Amino acid sequence: MEGRCNVNVYRNSKDLIVNNRGKMFLETCDNCNLIVLNGRTAGDEGQYTYISGRGCSVCDLCALAFDLLHIVKDFRVIPEVFSDHMPINLIIKLDPLDKQDKLLPLLPKLPWTELDRINFKNKLEKSVNLIKEVPNNVQGAVDMFVDMIVQCSSLGKRVRSIGVRSSTNFKQKWHDNDCKQARNKTFKLLNLFRKTGLKLVRSTYSECNSQYKQLCASKKKEFYLSLKNKFKEVNDTKNLWSLIKHFKSSNFVSSAVISCEDWVRHFNNLLNPCLSVDPIQFAPPLIEGGVRVAGVNIRCLLYADDIVVMADHPSILQSMINRMSAYCDQWNLNLNLEKSKIIVFKNGGRQAKNERWSFKGIKIENVRIYKYLGMYMTPKLSFSHHFREKLSVAKFALNVSYGRLLKSYDVPFSTKHEVFRAVARAIICYGAQIWGFQRYDSVERLYTFFVKKIFFLPKNTPHYIIYLETGAEPMFLFTLKMFLKNIKSVLSLPDQRLPKLLVKEIVKKKIYWYDACSSLFAKFNFDFDKYITGKDGVDSLNGLFEKINQEFKDECLKKAFHSTFHSLYKELKLSLDKHYISDDNNFYLMSNIFKARGQLLKLNYNITRTEAQHYCSMCNLGAVENVYHFIAVCPIMREFRVRCFGKVELSMAELIDQLNGKDWLLLNKFIRSAGNYRKMLIQQFNY
């Protein structure tokens, strides 16, 4: 056998323990015509595949059929510190591929430092200065420059420049030199143990490896917490997307090599219209008509390349369109009728006969919903369609970041919350300076969707439980602050500005948002007129916001008190001494306790089931399988209850103490172990 392959007849192993399980495994290999490769190749001297503080053994094996031994090139056990189990590596020989099959080689992975960047720049400048002649054909010139870049990018011998410090760019942003030094120390101890096999070295390695993992965990946590603070300081889109890139995967995709001639041929076949035009001077259109607001006639609104014309009568609007047509003919302009729509603002009713308009004989579409500057407008000035669209976009943004951000257990809850505020909340609250004085359920629904997503809660989780458990403020407070801040900003504008004219007219007639804000302020003993006429900003209304938040919590408590299905929740403490939703706890613990406190565990007592299906299917007590039965009294879970709580059964008072935070770790341990056992029984016995 040794003459035909690289596998030895005799097997070496540093694990000298022989037991019945090992003998049974070897007997199985003999019956199935298999041979163990561990310790039979030149690359493996029988190294341990499991090394920890508890011991070491060869428990990770590679077995191969005798017929395939001729393709074995090498087998080895790779030393790694990310797990107690060492990875095994099998190298096999395959037939060479056809020469016609062209595969792109993998790019070499090199540690690129600041010193390498400087050296590359200097060498490239020298190479460019030495160029005497460039080939006439495009492909030859490109090949010459590519070869030049490849030669200059070769690291070669690194010459340290004066005043330049070499620093490696680590793959993980949180992995710094401290982690690198701890990792190198751990590897040295691991290799030393593989050579000597001393127990003292093994215990030292195990302790050092544990410290290295704890260091990495703390560095990772500090990194994501620093991102949370950076999200708070974001003031432009560039900084926002630079932070979001930390949670996005950027895998390099290599495509087939395309020659320059192919690129030139491709773009020559494209239709390339002339993009340059003769310089034309445009004058503002002469438009009559308009609507009168506060004694001022408003004819049109101009924003970038958009123009909005307004009229209070159909015939006047058609006259304005005709003047616009003449203006376009005068300056040789075209109007995009696909984007040009007309919307009639009224309280309801059908379209009148005279509510039809045309541009140069072409009918202009009359719509009931129109999007202008990101806002969806309707004839009745309803924002329901606007919120429906924005809620869909915000949920899509959360779903896109779910795998890399929301589902990640390494990212703390506070960082996820800041990302939600910076991204999803910014989407749903777009235009809050206009509508933020009112509370909308569609806006509040986004936060509950976010919490359900990160804590793996059921879709039917009551909203009042989510707000009471997280202690979050309603989104209405954020939109109200934006609206009030915008009102003060508009009032500071010059008197001839349109926004200020509109605000002063609404205040004068005491309608729309003025009426709603006056009622809200008066409800909590605040004067809205004093706020808009005074010099104080939004910060002076902190007392108002606290009262609004307290009223919202009282509404949630009222719903919890009158709940018939979640009857246990009203007995729990909401002001916990040490809250379980914290960056110090993992998401498994927070999710399990959230579900247990809110009676949201996956049990038979579920709001989606009928009453006949609520009874426990594992025990013979004939009791409803709710949180109390599952955690406190079910005899099937007695073993887990004794192991975690030291009791066969728990009383209602003892259960409430556990749900109020007597020991979060033990409660989470019971829910996980007992829940897995229940899941196994249901799958095997179809309970």
- pTM for this structure? 0.68
Contacts 24+ apart (CB under 8 A), 135-143: 138/260, 138/261, 138/264, 139/259, 139/260, 139/261, 142/260
Q: What is the pLDDT of residue 686?
A: 62
Instruction: Supply the mean pLDDT for the chain.
Output: 84
Counted residue by residue, the chain has a size of 687
What pLDDT, on the 0 to 100 scale, is given for residue 270? 60
187 touches 148 (CB < 8 A):
no
Determine which of 162-171, 307-316, 519-528, 622-631 has the lowest per-residue pLDDT on average.
Answer: 162-171
pLDDT at 168 over 80: no
From CA 566, how far away is CA 465, in angstroms rounded?
10
Whether the CB-CB separation of 231 and 422 falls below 8 Å is answered with yes
Higher pLDDT, 166 or 168: 168
Q: Where residue 175 falls among pLDDT bands split at 50, 70, 90?
A: confident
Q: What is the pLDDT of residues 387-426, one digit of tens each?
A: 999 999 998 888 877 666 777 777 888 888 888 888 889 8
Least confident of 143-147, 349-353, 682-686: 682-686
Residue type, 583: D
Helix axis angle, 384-400 relative to 441-455, nearest 10°?
20
Write out pLDDT tens, residues 344-384: 998 888 888 888 999 998 999 999 999 988 899 999 888 99
Q: Quick count: other Cβ atoms within 10 Å of Cβ 615?
A: 15
- Single out the residue of 60, 61, 13 nearest to residue 39, CA to CA: 13
- Band (pLDDT 50/70/90 cuts) for residue 251 is low
SS3 349: coil
Picking from 154-158, 177-181, 323-327, 376-380, which range would have the lowest pLDDT averaged per residue?
154-158
Q: Higher model confidence: residue 102 or residue 327?
A: 327
- Cα–Cα distance for residue pair 595/586, rounded to 1 Å: 15
pLDDT of 573 strictly over 80? yes
Which of these, 382, 484, 512, 378, lies nearest to 442 by C-alpha position?
Answer: 382
Which among 105-114, 118-127, 213-222, 669-678 has the top mean pLDDT? 669-678
Tell me the torsion sign for CA atoms 63, 64, 69, 74: negative
Give tens-digit pLDDT for 288-305. Answer: 678 888 888 888 888 877
